[in-house]
Amino acid sequence: MFRIVEKKQLADNIYKLRVEAPRVAHSALPGQFVIVCTDEYGERVPLTIADYDTSDGTVTIVIQAIGMSTRKMCALGEGDALADLAGPLGNPSEFVNIPLDELRRRRYLFVAGGVGTAPVYPQVKWLCEHGVAADVIIGAKTASMLIYTDEMRRVADNLYIATDDGSEGFKGMVTGKVRDLIENEGRHYDECVAIGPMIMMKFVALTTREYGLPTTVSLNALMVDGTGMCGACRVSVGGQTLFTCVDGPEFDGHKVDFDEAMRRQAMYRVQEGEANEKHKCECYGK
């Protein structure tokens, strides 16, 4: 059992859980993920690690309550425990293996959307701790849905906010802000990392392709088993079939077949809807 030592609501239906998991905390690196089960009957939910602390042996995960399993997870409180938290799984971000003298000559641009902002944080934090420059764009539909802005300001060289309705920062999509930084502000970047909804990552990759800017995306949302056995996380990258859990979760965004990935992501929508309706009936006695 993995005890929840802190729970905090970050935005509507988005919660941060800090969980006791010493072995995971001591082994984790930016970009890796964990598989979480609420109880013995719970679905295996893949979540990119949002932070880890080796001093107190905790791992932080951020969850959006959108389906049965994630709602059950978000209903837990401080002192409750998760049945299982397996990890760290997947490959760490590629930059952790680049020699520091080379890495410090590079400048990164991170583009985070929605809940994807949380897994961006440990990457930017790691780069900051190692003296590597990184700018961050956080995007959301409206200001009330922004998360991790204070944390990101402490580790990013520059933080830019983009909201669809203009309620905070740049008015428009994150892709518009990418163009603004490159074309109007003359910023140069050596690599872009985009994490967020699949459709956002697709259009960030299409935008950065125009500028010849190498782009990495994280596809952890596709996973089920997390160990390469079930095959549910198959993704086409450069015409080759790869598995998100063991070959990723990060891939070259300019080579990912996003349309195929989005179709795969929608495979169980009917079953999820049926589970939600059953949950409503049980809750309201209808």
- 171 in Cβ contact with 163 (< 8 Å): yes
pLDDT digits (tens, 9 = 90+) for 239-274: 999 988 888 889 999 999 988 888 876 655 544 554
Check pLDDT > 90 for residue 105.
yes
Question: What's the pLDDT band for 223 if we cut at 50, 70, 90?
Answer: low
pLDDT band at 162 (very low <50, low <70, confident <90, very high): very high
Domains of the chain: 2-89 (2.40.30.10), 94-211 (3.40.50.80), 219-269 (2.10.240)
Quote the CA–CA distance of 98 and 102 in Å, as a whole number.
7
pLDDT category at 226 given cuts 50, 70, 90 is low
Predicted local confidence at residue 232, as pLDDT: 74
pLDDT of 170 higher than 60: yes
Report d(CA 75, CA 73) in Å as an integer.
Answer: 5
* CA dihedral of 49, 201, 71, 166, whole degrees rounded to 10: 110
Could you read off the pLDDT of 189-215 as tens digits, one per residue?
999 999 999 999 999 999 999 999 999
Asked if residue 285 has pLDDT above 70, the reply is: no
With bands split at pLDDT 50, 70 and 90, how would you rate the model's confidence at 233? confident
The pLDDT score that the predictor gives to residue 68 is 81
Using CA atoms, how far residue 94 sits from 29, 36, 55, 105, 199, in Å, is 10, 24, 25, 16, 23
Query: How confident is the model over 53-72, as pLDDT tens digits?
Result: 999 999 999 998 888 888 88
Nearest Cα neighbor of 221 from 64, 4, 88, 101 is: 64
Place of tokens 């583009």: 111
Helix 258-265 with 198-210: angle, nearest 10 deg = 180
Q: One-letter amino acid identity for 193?
A: V
What pLDDT is recorded for position 224?
Answer: 67
Question: Could you tell me the two tokens for 67?
Answer: 């389906």
- The 10 Å Cβ neighbour count of residue 16 is 18
pTM: 0.87
pLDDT surpassing 80 at residue 39: yes
Q: Is the pLDDT of residue 276 over 70?
A: no
pLDDT, tens digit, 9 for 90 and up, residues 129-160 = 999 999 999 999 999 999 999 999 999 999 99
Confidence (pLDDT) at 204: 96
